[in-house]
Structure 1
Amino acid sequence: MTDEEDKTRTFVYSERFSARGELPPGTIAGEYMLEEFIARGGCGAVYSARHLRSGRRAAVKVLDEAVVHAPRVIERFAREIEALRRISHPNIVEIYEVGELDDHRPFYAMERLEGQTLDALIKAERRLALRDVLELMDPVCAALEAAHTAGIIHRDVKASNIFICSDSPRTVKLLDFGIAKMMAPEESSTWFTTAGRMPGTPSIMAPEQILGGPIDARVDIYALGVLLHRMLVGRLPFHTLDADEMVRMHLEETPLPPSARVPLPPGLDAVVLRCMEKRRERRFGSVDELMSALRDAIGGPSSGVQSGPDPTQRAVAVYLEVRTRGRADEFDEALAVDIGQVLDLGEAQLSGAGFILVSITGNEVLGVRLLPATADEERQERRAALEVAAAVHEALARRTGADPRVHVNVCVHVGEVQARSAAQPEITGGALLCAGQWAPAAEVQGVFATPSATEGLASPP
């Protein structure tokens, strides 16, 4: 092979990465060599990398070439670096190095994390056990308290910006300070957004943040209330596909208490609703105050309740999943009305049959009933659950005004849950709640029952 052929091959190799907007492996960023593209977000890309001398693993974030001359983008990138470097805390990602590539694109190297986001965990688990909520909120609030003490508010505290590391013991990191607002010591006690702009995510934003008025650390407390609601219930407090309607809800509507959707201690309602007060002076004054109230409501260390997982018990679940046919742009009021009718009917039927409703979202209802210890009584309970599922399916098939674009899978499964004893047992976790792992991926006709639900039943309904 000639030198000329060698150069041509190298050119094609580099062009392949350039066409995807990625830097090729082997690119040098300060003291680090890029190894592999990880992800793209905002105006930059993240790569896995290793230190040239020590071999230490890192993640390197590089600003996109297309926006490198945009002052506002550079300002945001610099703000993220400054925010991270001003806070030294075990629950905030550590910065190793800051610099520029040969083409003058800014970058920073940070610790490499392995695991998953809280967003991914909620999607998998649907709703989290109370002790998991407490264990995850504690480090997030500790990180925010450190940031607030350093004069920084995050302004985008959401599940996708919280990373759960796979190490043991579990470490939680608060990510993405890209729109953090910093306050110098000589400034006033409030931070200001640019009027008319909404930096952040509309589905989690406090009213004053939406309106572009003066803001302080209590916008992060509002976002923590939204996050708590999602962790406890499995869905956001306000749900709509219309951005303007989402803004209106945050400005005007009082969210439903979480216990209106799933069985929860009443004290948790008070914590979530206080976080989400429209007037910031009615919210918790600090994240420390919020965490103290949360521990009291859940029964954390400060309340004297022993920690540890709740006892495991077998239970039967009836799961209703709404599926829509057609294109996403065909979603209209008639479709929304019928979906609501399905969910209301399913919720009423399962609740009336004695099922504990552990998940009610925009497209599903999951009801659970604990099973007795003896084999004969368990078989009777499983048969009864199958009969309830059949009755629910029949009622849904006969509903008035059924939209042909709506299909409902009705599924039954037996598995393990974690349950806390009380006058009304509380389901706090367990594999049975992960319906995505046992419910069918395709549409089914009639009632779908797994082998664990029908085992030993001669003629299931």
Structure 2
Amino acid sequence: MTKEDETRPFSEVERASARGELPAGTLAGEYILEGFIARGGCGVVYAARHARSGRPAAVKVLSEAVAHSRRVVERFAREIEALRLISHPNIVEIYEVGELNNYQPFYVMERLEGQTLDALIRAETRLAPREALDLFEPICAALGAAHAAGIIHRDVKASNIFICSGKPRTVKLLDFGIAKLMGPEEGSTWLTTAGRMPGTPSIMAPEQILGGPIDARVDVYALGVLLHRMLVGRLPFHTHDMDEMVRKHLEEPPMPPSLRVPLPLELDAVVLRCMEKRRERRFGSVEELVRALREAIGEPASGTRGGPDPTQPAVGVYLEVRTRGGSDDLDDALAADIGQVLDMAESQLERAGFILASTTGNEV
């Protein structure tokens, strides 16, 4: 290599290659890649346009680094198959499927502009019941179409739901990568074979965690978790310890949403029925769930347990834990004691109907 080679600027092709991305101009079937959009667990998504019509699209390409994994390739193929089996306005549309020159599989889908439901909740903290219903209903419609086609999503969460910009607002259910496709004989009983089930532990139904037979009601359970987060602003079970998260989903009943925020008691019943440990006690279908949610939101509240009427004065509580003598020199044991006191205080305040505004190392 000459000195001139060492000092010349990298081309866009070289920079993309160094990042493990395909450069702009790469041809994927009849679509030309324009640039990088996002990277997921096993694929990279690019903006693209049809070579002749100019129709905008998004192209998902299986990452070269994982293309040797049979499990990953099967998941990618499963996602494609699931999406091609369902035609619904709230599920992303597939335009084309193929392989690049180096045999990397890809599929072309409609390009979406907007944000995920996860981003919306983070920005707004929590959603009003009516807004939650407006977003929740099309999600359930998409799942209803999937279930009718013999497909269980198994990973219904806020980051897998996309809210398209524009009027009217369109909602899309994404990521069928771990969906379960069932044959006709399985579809009649809604059961899949036993075995360890993939998914996101913070939203998984007990039977999914245990790896037993599952049916469409695992999606109903996940919808209950999602509805709780939309209405309250947080998951029903909050812990960074994965084993503890699993234990809570298996054994611990979720706290009614109205104990955390001011909500009608009717909404408690909907969320808690979705999240029943025994699936036979849950809603039997997403359609039944939507009807119950509409009724809960449409009826006058029979009382709230989550706090004062919004037209009445509110009260705030400030709690600070201090050491005797005001010393800032804390050893590990004392810091742990303070943390335990704060956890107990937070739990008691939430049960009394207070909403946590902020917390620091020694304040709530």
1:65 is aligned to: 64
Compute the displacement of 1:13 (Å).
3.6
- Contact 1:156–1:220 (Cα < 8 Å) also in 2: yes
**Distance in 1 between residues matched to 2:110 and 2:90, nearest whole Å:** 12
**Distance in 2 between residues matched to 1:116 and 1:252, nearest whole Å:** 34
1:376 is aligned to: none
Compute the displacement of 1:25 (Å).
1.0
What are the equivalent positions in structure 2 for 1:322-341 lying under 5 Å apart?
334=337, 336-341=339-344
What are the equivalent positions in structure 2 for 1:215-230 lying under 5 Å apart?
215-230=214-229
- Contact 2:259–2:350 (Cα < 8 Å) also in 1: no
- Contact 1:51–1:57 (Cα < 8 Å) also in 2: yes
1:125 is aligned to: 124
1:406 is aligned to: 361
Compute the displacement of 1:24 (Å).
1.0
Matched to 1:101, the amino acid is L
- Contact 1:28–1:34 (Cα < 8 Å) also in 2: yes
Distance 1:347 1:25, change over 3 A: same
Matched to 2:190, the amino acid is T
Compute the displacement of 1:19 (Å).
1.6
1:100 is aligned to: 99
Distance 1:281 1:24, change over 3 A: same
Q: Deviations over 1:127-167 (max 9, x none)?
A: 10111011011100000000000000100000000111111
1:343 matched to 2:346: yes
TM-score normalised over the length of structure 1: 0.68
2:192 is aligned to: 192
**Distance in 2 between residues matched to 1:68 and 1:84, nearest whole Å:** 20
**Distance in 2 between residues matched to 1:292 and 1:270, nearest whole Å:** 13
What are the equivalent positions in structure 2 for 1:21-420 lying under 5 Å apart?
21-187=20-186, 189-192=189-192, 195=195, 197-299=196-298, 334=337, 336-341=339-344, 343=346, 357=354, 359-360=355-356, 364=358, 406-408=361-363
What is the aligned residue count? 337
Structure holding more strand per residue: 1
Q: Give the % identical residues.
A: 70
**Distance in 1 between residues matched to 2:313 and 2:13, nearest whole Å:** 56
Distance 1:291 1:25, change over 3 A: same
Structure 1 or 2, whichever has the larger Rg, is: 1
TM-score normalised over the length of structure 2: 0.85
**Distance in 1 between residues matched to 2:337 and 2:33, nearest whole Å:** 51
Unaligned runs of 5+ in 2: 300-309, 321-332
**Distance in 2 between residues matched to 1:76 and 1:25, nearest whole Å:** 26
**Distance in 1 between residues matched to 2:317 and 2:60, nearest whole Å:** 42
Compute the displacement of 1:15 (Å).
2.5
Distance 1:344 1:298, change over 3 A: same
Matched to 2:175, the amino acid is D
Compute the displacement of 1:97 (Å).
0.6
Compute the displacement of 1:342 (Å).
5.0
Q: Mean Cα displacement is larger for which, 334-343 or 13-22?
A: 334-343
**Distance in 2 between residues matched to 1:265 and 1:173, nearest whole Å:** 28
Distance 1:99 1:253, change over 3 A: same
3-state secondary structure, aligned to 1:16: helix
Distance 1:333 1:151, change over 3 A: farther
Q: Deviations over 1:279-334 (max 9, x none)?
A: 1011000000000000000018xxxxxxxxxxx98998969799xxxxxxx9x854
- Contact 2:42–2:63 (Cα < 8 Å) also in 1: yes
Compute the displacement of 1:339 (Å).
3.1
Compute the displacement of 1:229 (Å).
0.7
